[in-house]
Structure 1
């Protein structure tokens, strides 16, 4: 989603400290007299003072992509709000499994968290027999950061001007159209597979390593179509390098008010988004998970952060751990049938 993503993906890790622009004069606990703290156990004091040192935030994607952008914007505000640096580390590889493994190795103290999308938490467990982690067993949901709605795109060379014409052509020439994705098993790939099933289409899948390269080749005319998250596609759409035909959402998107939903076109059930949230080790005390959620949600709902994410094509959320856990369960049930129907595996 940015020009430096390819260079970033060549590195196994990149660390950037997000230094707070200002610090609180003191945390509330720091104002308490020493005699009040003398009888409080050290673990309880640590929880009350949380955070009292830098937070390490793992992103399992290259720098410059949508998950990375979202993490850094929220992390910057989190650093301002808490008075503690937030260190973002890009740990790529293994279809996000290498980044997820960092949480398994880290202390369960709330100071190491992972940006995890539905690829990491929903699709991977269905796609890999030997994954190396189990989201339900190993991770504690903290909050959903935001949604990346999916949009059906065509390139500039396409003579198709609207979604109905696209669907007619795709049905008339089964197997002739090629669609790009951000990778096999990615939200982009499965969103298009969902459209194929619901609309009775058959196209050829061309997987890429990330949405940025895929949408760039679509704009260059190398492929005919793709389902892409709005954040990656918005600049291309506004510049006229690709055309948006339909949105895979329940309602029209404010950034694309003239683009219909699939439901408006008479195709039910085509709703898909990349969902990016935060998880911690399942061994993290519930009190610390709650404090993390409150701090991160507060950063998300900062008006300036909210406006910037929305302008980029991201729907900010910041819900509770229970709401995030419920969503993940619902998503697993929703996509399990399609993945099994496709007999799609990655190992």
Structure 2
């Protein structure tokens, strides 16, 4: 008779020895059990920006359907302040158990580490789940400014260095860095005037207080369509469907520029790989739902979900490009 067959303890030991977990420390095994039971309670989605903005809109469109797919509630938790630093730090300090997800964007994951000498978090504190969507950026001007094209604006700015100013939603925002890239590529000197948010900046463009700014589709499409600001160029390789008559910045004679404000999903570093994988699958499926996708595209977003690996590689490329620009132009916030 097989001795193992008659001995329950030996049968158990034999099963454990054959398990793929056999080479792992015993302390690591409960993590896998927790991942299998996940989610067993609500998930918090930290949005490091105020309610009503583009990132908040994306989260609130996706969260209910994502929750249905996961079988739990996904609650949006707005934690704005300090260029997204406050909310990002809160997420970085959360347990790596899959019950906290957070938006990462150009600012938090690429710009801030180069712009600030000290940050209370590092991009390495997070594990990528996947790219979600991006906002095209548009160079706009006050209709009363006399600027009718990007080519004309660039020519005027070259002839009059320092005469003109531009607004942005804030220092370190994608809009600010996009204009700095344009200035670098076109050889321009235009003075930066940072605001606290897109709404305040675009109001001053409409009022003629500042002549121009770069705005994203979520913050500027309504004003462009109403004729309150004039769209001069989009900062993408191709024209965008929402503004088919607006040329690209390359068509205005400036090459080498493709900038978006983008949003991606992250979790605190150390979350189980099974949880990250499931979050990615359900996030991509949610973004593929026709009603969700339509709502986001109507708002001005370009939906572009990716794998965790693709997001990681994308951020590496972005970091190399933008850290070089920030260093060469001597841009610092503190």
Do both proteins adopt the same fold according to a TM-score greater than 0.5, normalized to the shorter chain? yes
Deviation at 1:43, TM superposition (A): 4.3
Does residue 257 (structure 1) correspond to residue 244 (structure 2)? The answer is yes
Question: How do 1:42-121 and structure 2 match up within 5 A?
Answer: 43-121=31-109
Q: Distance in 2 between matches of 1:277 and 1:149?
A: 15
Q: Distance in 1 between matches of 2:244 and 2:293?
A: 19
Q: Give 2:199's aligned residue.
A: 212
Q: Give 1:147's aligned residue.
A: 134
Select which of 134, 148, 157 maps to 1:161.
148
Q: Give 1:128's aligned residue.
A: 116
Select which of 183, 199, 211 maps to 2:186.
199
Q: Distance in 2 between matches of 1:311 and 1:194?
A: 28
**TM-score, length-normalised on structure 2?**
0.88
Q: Distance in 2 between matches of 1:222 and 1:85?
A: 45
Question: How do 1:197-346 and structure 2 match up within 5 A?
Answer: 197-346=184-333
Summarize deviations over 1:144-198 as a string: whole Å, max 9, x none. 1111111000013221222222122211211111100011111100100111111
Q: Distance in 2 between matches of 1:123 and 1:129?
A: 12
Q: Distance in 2 between matches of 1:44 and 1:199?
A: 53
Query: Does the Cα contact within 8 Å between 1:144 and 1:317 map onto a contact in 2?
Result: yes
Deviation at 1:240, TM superposition (A): 0.9
**TM-score, length-normalised on structure 1?**
0.85
Q: Which has the larger radius of gyration?
A: 2
Structure 1 consecutive aligned stretches of length 4 or more whose deviation exceeds 3 Å: 39-46
Query: Does the Cα contact within 8 Å between 1:65 and 1:212 map onto a contact in 2?
Result: no
- The 3-state SS of whatever aligns with 2:257 is coil
Q: Distance in 1 between matches of 2:43 and 2:143?
A: 44
Between 42-51 and 147-156, report the one with greater CA deviation: 42-51
Deviation at 1:42, TM superposition (A): 5.9
Q: Distance in 2 between matches of 1:135 and 1:193?
A: 23
- The 3-state SS of whatever aligns with 1:309 is helix
Q: How large is the Cα RMSD of the aligned pairs?
A: 1.6
Query: Does the Cα contact within 8 Å between 2:31 and 2:272 map onto a contact in 1?
Result: no
Q: Where in structure 2 are there 5+ consecutive unaligned residues?
A: 1-18, 22-28
Q: Give 1:4's aligned residue.
A: none
Query: Does the Cα contact within 8 Å between 1:50 and 1:291 map onto a contact in 2?
Result: no
Deviation at 1:327, TM superposition (A): 0.6
